[in-house]
Amino acid sequence: MILHTLLDYDVLRVIWWLLLGVLLIGFAVTDGFDLGVGTLLPFVAREDVERRVVINTIGPIWEGNQVWLVLGGGAIFAAWPHIYAMSFSGFYLAMFAALFALILRPVGFKYRSKRESPRWRSNWDWCLFIGGFVPSLIFGVAIGNVLQGVPFHFTPDMRMVYEGSFLGLLNPFAILCGLLSVAMLVMHGGAWLSVRTEGAVADRARRFATVAAIATIVLYALGGVLVWQWVGGFQWTSPHLANGPSNPLMKTVQAGVAGGWLVNYAAHPWTMLAPALGFLGALLALLGLRARWERLTVIFSGLSIAGIILSVGASMFPFIVPSSTHLPSALTVWDASSSHLTLFIMLVCAVVFVPIILGYTAWVYSVIWGKVRPRDITHGDHAY
């Protein structure tokens, strides 16, 4: 109870905002190379054995990497219920498409090699491609829409009403963010394949990852320019009540502020480390691919992904999901969380279980580490 007293409501809200970012980065960095490998599968492997090699680079670990997605969804549901309600209502069709694509992955892994038919296996290979490409694109499109504001509002009795459409999500800036998401995950997946494979497959993976790293740098820079010049930011204009109730309607917000998403960088220059990491990580990954720094390249691409995600959080703080149609309904760190007690109990659980997850994840990676070779596939009893 002493710790509960010391951790004020505003402190817990910031902690859970940071933890949400950690969970998103954990998902993007670990399951990100799974998605990137799935996207690359039809292009880096040309024969059946090569494609099985590619699949088996992620076969033993993809399920464990999904833990970060489950944790992220659970954290949003419990710590940020208003955000969960808005996201899974407003983005319902987009979420359904992403989840459907993700469901194709385990089915593809399990059923692809059940028959010798080349057509059968080719069809499942393209299903695995869909399972990698579609979620990568949709997650980026979602972030692009959040940066522009989502058309929703709360009624006086706190009932959420979404006013947009699925096609409305597919606007030019959101599509650019989606392409950036695909590029950075393909870069990460290609870097992973350069570590886990050899020969022609690794060489093709490096070539595709090199193109993806260049695309990541270009698209990220273009997105930054658009955020500065075209995408109007949001600003909280009423006094902040960091310890106040979770009622988004108790504030005033200004929209369409030119360069509004860059204000935090001027106020807190240290936050510039996030976009710098996004650019530097991609640039070092590009150099690593050319110089064949295999393990370092995976680290560099992961750092780039972390920097890009952190830059979104740093730009938007304290906003999490702004509203484009009813400004006071914007969801922020200070008015969209669960109760003080709920956040505290969740923090205790996170302190206990997250280190356990990190520990067994590290152990699994240490066990499966090394090159996947064709002979491991043709003579292995447990290979996909």
Ordered DSSP codes for 279-323 = HHHHHHHHHHHHHT-HHHHHHHHHHHHHHHHHHHHHHHTTEEE-B
Can you tell me the distance from the alpha carbon of 5 to that of 158, in angstroms, rounded to the nearest whole number? 29
Residue 338: CB atoms within 10 A of its CB come to: 20
Structure tokens at 337: 């969380």
- Please say whether the beta carbons of 158 and 329 come within 8 A: no
Structure tokens at 296: 């370092």
Q: Domain-by-domain residue ranges, the chain?
A: 2-227+337-378
Three-class secondary structure of residue 382 per DSSP: coil
Burial (CB < 10 A; 0-12, 13-18, 19+), residue 263, is: middle
What distance lies between CA 137 and its chain's CA centroid?
10
- Please say whether the beta carbons of 132 and 35 come within 8 A: yes
- Please say whether the beta carbons of 239 and 146 come within 8 A: no
* pLDDT attached to residue 118: 87
Which residues have C-beta within 8 Å of that of residue 357, sequence separation ≥ 6?
A: 67, 71
How many residues appear in the chain?
384
Residue 38's nearest CA partner among 100, 123, 130 is: 130
Structure tokens at 280: 């530097």
Q: Which parts of the chain sit beneath pLDDT 70?
A: 1-6, 379-383
Can you tell me the distance from the alpha carbon of 222 to that of 301, in angstroms, rounded to the nearest whole number? 19
Whether cis (ω within 30° of 0) applies to the bond prior to 318 is yes
* pLDDT attached to residue 5: 57
